Amino acid sequence: GQVVTGSPVRRGKGALGCVVGVQGVYRLNPFVALAASAGGSSTALPTPDNYYVGAMVNGSFGARWTPKENGPVVLSATVLEEWQDADRKDALIYENSGYLSTSLALGASWNVWAKELRSLTLQARVQAPLVQTVGDPMYQSNLSGTLGASAVVF
């Protein structure tokens, strides 16, 4: 894409990249499970103007707890770590574009209805940064929350 004048924001068609990741879950008992993940992404081919988006590495470690075995309510806590290198174009390095962030996410889900293989689940999650190092306030994480619903209807 093209750099918007006076801003590090780019508009346009983007770049071709690659993403890899791995996840693992270990169930301690019927009520508690631990999970970890690691991943990364990188620009595989630059844009036509030779711009590379900074490579990213991320990881997380979390636990989930259900008060009742196979019950409808699940509570979770996760620590997330994310690092992104600075963007670059040719020999120019955009020093204000990389960041390092550690966040804590707390979540809950409630399976409000289930019949055979069909179900309806409501979810809520709050995520807050614990520690951040950013080159530009634009990359700063803030307190965020999500509400959602998922349904299996086949």
Mean pLDDT, 10 residues at a time, the chain of 154 residues: 60 76 95 96 83 91 93 96 90 88 97 94 97 84 95 91
Distance CA 19, CA 42 (A): 7
> Tell me, what's the pLDDT at 91?
86
CB 141 within 8 A of CB 103: yes
- Amino acid occupying residue 92: L
Distance CA 56, CA 58 (A): 7
List C-alpha distances in Å: 72 to 9, 102, 117. 43, 30, 14
Output the CA torsion sign for 77, 142, 23, 149.
Answer: positive
> Tell me, what's the pLDDT at 7?
63
> Tell me, what's the pLDDT at 135?
81
> Tell me, what's the pLDDT at 3?
57
**What are the E-state strand segments in 1-154?**
2-3, 10-11, 16-27, 32-45, 51-52, 56-65, 73-84, 88-89, 92-93, 99-115, 118-134, 144-152
3-state SS class at 139:
helix
User: How many CA atoms are closer than 13 Å to the CA of 146, on its beta-carbon side?
Assistant: 12
Beta carbons within 10 angstroms of residue 104's beta carbon = 14
pTM score of the predicted model: 0.78
Distance CA 132, CA 106 (A): 18
Distance CA 82, CA 140 (A): 12
- Which is nearest to 106 in space by CA: 125, 93, 87? 125
